[in-house]
Amino acid sequence: MQLSAMRAYAKRRGWKVAIEEKEVGSGAKTRPKREELLCAARRRDVDAIVVWRLDRWGRSLLDLIGTLQELYAVGVGFVSLTEALDMTTPGGRALAGMLAVFAEFERDILRDRVKAGIAQARKEGRPHGRPATVTQHAQEISSLFASGTSKRQIASKFGISRSSVRRMLVARRARGKKIA
């Protein structure tokens, strides 16, 4: 149903369908077909991209706005049939501009909330941020290093970065703990 509606739209506009992509996998992190289509747009192999719904193209507002801006920059139109968003027209480009304003507003609100949450956590003395994974292995890391195991090998064994191993060893040495 979706493909036939998009084909009919292209035909009404007098456009030739160059590529048809059907990607299945809701919520997928990587979307290779979409990336191939973006590459085709960057090469200017296509003049416009037609989708059934905006959520079929972008998984988040930020992703959607970013790709729409990129398509506009390379001169490729974008049409969403369900939402009647047509970036090949001045009205559609104006609507996309308004979406960009709301996306920026959303980013600003999110940033302010994160900062407020961090400030509140600090005020209450609660830890915040990503928990340190290296501390749970500190004793074993120290023992391995003291026995001659390289930082790279230790990092590989625990699935952490070499710099995390180095920072942990330096911190233990600074606190006067024996590394053995």
Average pLDDT per run of 10 along the chain, which is 180 residues long? 85 85 63 87 90 79 82 89 83 80 83 93 85 79 91 90 88 66
pLDDT on residue 123: 93
Residues 6+ apart with CB under 8 A from 93: 72, 87
pLDDT on residue 180: 46
Number of domains the chain contains: 2
pLDDT on residue 31: 80
Burial 94-115 (b: 16+ CB within 10 A, else e): ebbeebbeebeeeeeeeeeeee
Residue spans of beta strands (DSSP E) within 18-91: 48-51, 77-80, 85-86
Helix, strand and coil content of the chain, in percent to the nearest 5, comes to: 60, 5, 35
In a domain, 87, yes or no: yes
Residues 95, 103, 82: CA angle, nearest 5 degrees: 45
Residues 12 and 81 in one domain: yes
What predicted TM-score, i.e. pTM, was given to this entire model?
0.52
In a domain, 112, yes or no: no
Q: State the residue range of the domain holding 13.
A: 2-17+32-103
In a domain, 114, yes or no: no
- Whose tokens are 């989708």? That residue is 51
pLDDT on residue 116: 94
How are strands ordered across the β-sheet holding 77-80?
48-51, 77-80, 85-86
Amino acid at 65: I
pLDDT on residue 43: 93
In a domain, 22, yes or no: no
**Final residue belonging to a domain, choices 59, 81, 103:** 103
In a domain, 113, yes or no: no
Amino acid at 103: A
Instruction: Identify whether the C-beta of residue 79 lies closer than 8 Å to the C-beta of residue 87.
Output: yes
In a domain, 51, yes or no: yes
In a domain, 130, yes or no: no
pLDDT on residue 27: 55
